Amino acid sequence: MGSHAHAHDNIDWPSRLTELRRADLLTATARAEVAARLVDDSVRTVIDMGSGSGGWASSFAGALRAAGKPGATVVLVDAVPELLAAAEESVRAVAGSDVEVVAVHGDAADPELARRLPAADLIWASHVVHHLPDERQGVRNLAAALAPGGRLALAEGGLPARFLANDLGAGEPGLQQRLDVANTQWFKAMRADMTGSVPLTEGWSSVLRGVGLVDVTAFSYLFDRPAPLSEADRTTVIDRVRWLRSTTQGWCSAEDTALLDRMLDPGDQLSLADREDLFWLQANTVHLGRRPLA
Instruction: Give the span between the Cα atoms of 86 and 52, in whole angstroms.
Output: 8
Per-residue pLDDT for the chain (294 aa), expressed as one digit of tens each? 233 334 665 667 677 777 888 888 889 999 999 999 999 999 999 999 999 899 999 999 999 999 998 889 999 999 889 999 999 999 999 999 999 999 999 999 999 999 999 999 999 999 999 999 999 999 999 999 999 999 999 999 999 999 999 999 999 999 999 999 999 999 999 899 889 999 999 999 999 999 999 999 999 999 999 999 999 999 999 999 999 999 999 999 999 999 999 999 999 999 999 899 999 999 999 999 999 997
Note down the domain range covering 244.
3-290
Instruction: Give the span between the Cα atoms of 132 and 148, in whole angstroms.
Output: 25
Report the CATH number at residue 269: 3.40.50.150
Query: What is the bridge-based pairing of β-strands 100-105 and 45-49?
Result: unpaired
Instruction: Provide the number of structural domains found in the chain.
Output: 1
Contact indicator for 135, 187 with CB cutoff of 8 Å? no
Beta bridge partners of 100: 73
